[in-house]
A and B are shown apart, each in its own frame.
Chain A
Amino acid sequence: MFDGIFSDYTLRIVSLGAALLGITSGALGSFAVLRKQSLLGDSISHAALPGIVLAFMITGSKNSFILLIGAAIAGWIATTFILSIIRNTRITSDGAQGTILSVFFGLGLLLLTYVQSKPNAAQAGLDKYLFGQAAALLPEDIKSSAILGGLSIIIMIIIWKELKLLTFDPDFGQSLGFSSKLIDYLITALIVIAIVTGLQTVGVILMSSMLIAPAAAARQWTNKLGSMVILSSIFGAIAGIFGAVISCIIPNLPTGPSIVLSLTAIVILSLLFAPDRGVISSMIKRYNNRFDFSLQKLLLTLWNLEKKHGGEKRAHDSLTISFTQPGIKNVNTALLALEQKGWVKKDPKGNWLLSEEGRIKAINIEKGETL
């Protein structure tokens, strides 16, 4: 089936475009996430809308290159506003981003509605920038996003050391003489480029998830910055291809939401199943810890019972033991687990008592040692 799909010319273009976009936005998005600027991408992409519509109103052209230059300029202006509000006022960064996002997007919608109310049909298709339409991608679009994306990634690699330093510890980096302001503007410019190249495919509303979701998913699987960036790119590419192809096969399905839903699946899988940081792995760890603690407690109880009986090695039936262990739901399971470790044994009547080894262990636990 997929042979058939990928031999289709449009689909080849679309999946190539979406893959390129996923790689670029996944890589740069890692830094947005680590710098705790997840909302910044959202503000920039929403702010691009008035830029697109204004570019159309001024030039009358629907050439994607011209419209995207409008988007980039508007995105850049919004970013400058946000950064200067953060630096110069008491408004916090989320407040500044939220404000600029809604002001620019509101303006964009206003302009779009105005343009669409005009009788001529020239404006038709501008609304594809809201949710994206990968099927409308042209080979030239792919070429320019390949060049822009490639350049962004090359710049990222060149300033890798500085990016890492100023993301982790901006004060220290600045004390060494690296300008955090310069890096702020550089990484933001790169993010603007990634966003602009994705607007045709994903649209202004959902573009920011192309930056954030792959990075958030990648962080779950690795503790190294380099692997995180690479993995994030791979996730972005996979979701990009998958979503774009689905939206091309099923008519009238906008590309943005399809890609974002594919990304969501990757994020959910990562949140659940990643080793160490995943929900399931930490649940297992917590359960194991709790079980270990209850075993320790049980061992101590048996030891205390023995001490109460003046050191007489008397066996107790599991019911008696369970009365002393209100915290343990199933004393038999715990006893069997201890038996497996060789710390308790059953006498011929089926009652339980400590083994020599178990006694030593219990004494050690009493002294503060853990299993």
Chain B
Amino acid sequence: MDKNWAIDAEDITIAYHDKPVIWDVDMQVPKGVMMAIIGPNGAGKSTLIKGLLGLIPLTAGDVKVFGESYKKVRKKVGYVPQRTAVDWDFPTTVLDVVLMGTYGRLGWVKRPRKEEIILAHEAIEKVGMSEFANRQISQLSGGQQQRVFLARALTQNAEIYLMDEPFQGVDATTERAIISILKELKNSGKTVIAVHHDLQTVPDYFDWVTLLNVRRIAGGPVKEVFTKENLRKAYGGRISFLEDKSE
């Protein structure tokens, strides 16, 4: 196994009951890139992320993170789930949710202490939410919820960040704020992988891309693989309205 890959996934197949959602996908992600996973609805993008994290069992295939199994390098991996995956009416505050990012390091039973609380406040400040630290989470807007999730991942202090639609339903200001944080992460040598929907912003935001539609259609540097032809392969006929923007 090559340790130069941040993620090296071989022949991954994931099926819900008898229906394969991911079919025989190979994916190598070099360290330090910012990669988008794109593809039409139902292409298995979220499933792929969850499969990489071991949240859903792989029907076949193998995933290595920095050449090791995920369980061994868990602490090097940060995760931003889809914002809509949780109930935002849960009785807790912004600070409390962000603190959850430190739980992995703490392990079972040990409670967060001053050190973790300082870390959480720093992350909250980074995403511009300081004045909301003690706010009940049900009072947040979509963009603010996304910032909270990002702050939580930042406290993980990971080497790789896996993000499931970090720009879904957020306002333009939040999108700019998030992308500048992600670029900062990349510049400090971290690897960022995000499920992304807006094809127009792919070349601006990312330097690496994987096109997915159950199978892997293409993957590599944006300049090489983000082509009309590959997009048509991934999206079928639904791509026409974007064609002039894709190159």
CA distance A174 to B74 in the complex (A): 10
In the complex, are the beta carbons of B92 and A225 less than 8 A apart? yes
Within 8 A of B (CB), among A164-179: 164-165, 167-169, 171-178
In the complex, are the beta carbons of A161 and B90 less than 8 A apart? no
CA distance A177 to B60 in the complex (A): 22
Please tell me the number of chain A residues within 8 Å of chain B, measured between CB atoms: 26
B181 at the interface (CB under 8 A from A): no
Partner among B53, B79, B103 whose Cβ is within 8 Å of the Cβ of A165: B103
In the complex, are the beta carbons of B79 and A159 less than 8 A apart? no
Among all A-B residue pairs, the 5 with the closest Cβ atoms: A176-B104, A223-B136, A175-B79, A175-B53, A169-B86
CA distance A174 to B85 in the complex (A): 14
Which one of A167, A168, A174, A222 has the highest number of Cβ atoms from chain B below 10 Å of its Cβ?
A168
Given A177-B74, A178-B103, decide whether A171 and B50 contact each other with a Cβ distance below 8 A. Answer: yes
Given A90-B17, A223-B136, decide whether A162 and B81 contact each other with a Cβ distance below 8 A. Answer: no
Given A169-B81, A169-B86, A172-B79, decide whether A178 and B91 contact each other with a Cβ distance below 8 A. Answer: no
B residues at A contact (CB < 8 Å): 17, 50, 53-55, 71, 74, 77, 79, 81, 85-87, 90-93, 96-97, 100, 103-104, 106, 108-112, 136, 138, 152
Q: List 11 A-B contacts (CB under 8 A).
A: A34-B90, A90-B17, A162-B103, A165-B103, A168-B87, A171-B79, A172-B152, A174-B55, A175-B74, A177-B104, A223-B92
CA distance A150 to B87 in the complex (A): 30
Within 8 A of B (CB), among A19-74: 34, 36
A341 at the interface (CB under 8 A from B): no
B89 CB → nearest A CB, Å: 9
A228 at the interface (CB under 8 A from B): yes
In the complex, are the beta carbons of A161 and B55 less than 8 A apart? no
CA distance A23 to B92 in the complex (A): 22
A345 at the interface (CB under 8 A from B): no
Q: How many A-B residue pairs have CB under 8 A?
A: 75
CA distance A164 to B112 in the complex (A): 13
A79 CB → nearest B CB, Å: 22
Residues of B within 8 A of A164 (CB): 92, 96, 100
Chain A 218-254 against B: per-residue CB contact (8 Å), 1 yes, 0 no? 0100111100100000000000000000000000000
CA distance A228 to B96 in the complex (A): 15
A158 at the interface (CB under 8 A from B): yes
Residues of A within 8 A of B97 (CB): 168
Residues of A within 8 A of B92 (CB): 164, 168, 223-225
In the complex, are the beta carbons of A172 and B108 less than 8 A apart? no
Residues of B within 8 A of A177 (CB): 71, 74, 104
CA distance A168 to B81 in the complex (A): 12
CA distance A266 to B108 in the complex (A): 36
In the complex, are the beta carbons of A178 and B90 less than 8 A apart? no
Residues of A within 8 A of B93 (CB): 223-224
B57 CB → nearest A CB, Å: 11
In the complex, are the beta carbons of B104 and A162 less than 8 A apart? no
Partner among B74, B85, B86, B91 whose Cβ is within 8 Å of the Cβ of A225: B91
CA distance A222 to B53 in the complex (A): 35
Which one of A165, A167, A176 has the highest number of Cβ atoms from chain B below 10 Å of its Cβ?
A176
Chain A 137-180 against B: per-residue CB contact (8 Å), 1 yes, 0 no? 00000000000000000000011011011011101111111100
